[in-house]
Amino acid sequence: DAGITQSPRHKVTETGTPVTLRCHQTENHRYMYWYRQDPGHGLRLIHYSYGVKDTDKGEVSDGYSVSRSKTEDFLLTLESATSSQTSVYFCAISRGRDYGYTFGSGTRLTVV
Amino acid sequence: KNEVEQSPQNLTAQEGEFITINCSYSVGISALHWLQQHPGGGIVSLFMLSSGKKKHGRLIATINIQEKHSSLHITASHPRDSAVYICAVPIQGAQKLVFGQGTRLTINP
């Protein structure tokens, strides 16, 4: 019972195709986040959500969109994948600013 | 200038050595997080602290809010401690984390 799961774990896709990554939580936490991790850049915030249908952009949001139609699911969509979006994507959840974070296992996305 | 700076970037030590990883930040914070990531693995939260010191097993985290500095110590280090250690702070007033670049720790047997 991980509390947070990401799917898929690995994906290879072609340039120009749409891709959706899913983050699912069973903790009923309010906050959900999508990060990407790249060598030399560390973890960078793409988008985050502070409630159902409430989302906001992070520092590297261009080319990405998100949706949160229910508490437990936070979807990250690459409308038209590019090679620069090849990365490892992590989802995280948190109860709030005075609480810790729990990270998913990551999704390794390769855009060819 | 990065809001969160870690040092060293890379650290190699022998099993049993006492390890210290440092984190300095430039923004006002309510708490600081230490995370661990094993090679090819997920990210695990080790500590969240807002003052003083916390200990979990062989890991100790300290923070000095006035000096905007935190340290992560590992006592009696073991090869299984080999990982990247990441410090992160929330942007004040916002529910978002800013991450350091990470410290890659290698413990040789």
**Cβ neighbourhood burial of B98 (10 Å; 0-12, 13-18, 19+):** buried
Mean pLDDT (chain B, rounded): 92
Q: Cβ of B95 and A31 within 8 Å? A: yes
Q: Cβ of B30 and A58 within 8 Å? A: no
What digits encode the pLDDT tens for the residues B58-108? Answer: 999 999 989 999 999 999 999 999 999 999 998 766 678 889 999 999 999
- Taking contacts as CB-CB distances below 8 angstroms, the residues of chain B near A99 are 48
- Mean pLDDT for A42-62 is 93
Tell me if chain B has a CB within 8 Å of the CB of A27: no
- For residue A96, what is the enclosing H or E element? none
Residues A76, B3: Cα–Cα separation, whole Å: 26
Confidence check: pLDDT of A10 > 60 = yes
What pLDDT, on a 0 to 100 scale, did the predictor assign at position A55?
A: 94
**Collapsing DSSP states into helix, strand and coil, what is residue B84?**
strand
8-state DSSP, B91: P
Confidence check: pLDDT of A2 > 70 = no
The backbone torsions φ and ψ at residue A95, rounded to the nearest 5 degrees and listed phi first, read -80, -25
What pLDDT, on a 0 to 100 scale, did the predictor assign at position B27?
A: 79
- Mean pLDDT for A49-67 is 94
What pLDDT, on a 0 to 100 scale, did the predictor assign at position B91?
A: 79
Residues B50, B42: Cα–Cα separation, whole Å: 24
Which tops the pLDDT comparison, B96 or A60? A60
Q: Confirm if A100 and B32 have CB atoms less than 8 A apart.
A: no
The chain B residue lying nearest A40, using CA atoms, is B101
Distance from CA of A107 to the nearest CA of B (A): 10
- Taking contacts as CB-CB distances below 8 angstroms, the residues of chain B near A33 are 96-97
What pLDDT, on a 0 to 100 scale, did the predictor assign at position A40?
A: 82
Tell me if chain A has a CB within 8 Å of the CB of B3: no
- Mean pLDDT for B9-17 is 97
Q: Confirm if B3 and B26 have CB atoms less than 8 A apart.
A: yes
CA geometry: angle at B74 spanning B72 and B80, to 5°? 120
Confidence check: pLDDT of A97 > 80 = no
Contacts of A112 (CB under 8 A, 6+ apart): A12, A13, A14, A15, A83
Confidence check: pLDDT of B28 > 80 = no
What digits encode the pLDDT tens for the residues A70-91? Answer: 999 999 999 999 999 999 999 9
- Mean pLDDT for A47-62 is 93
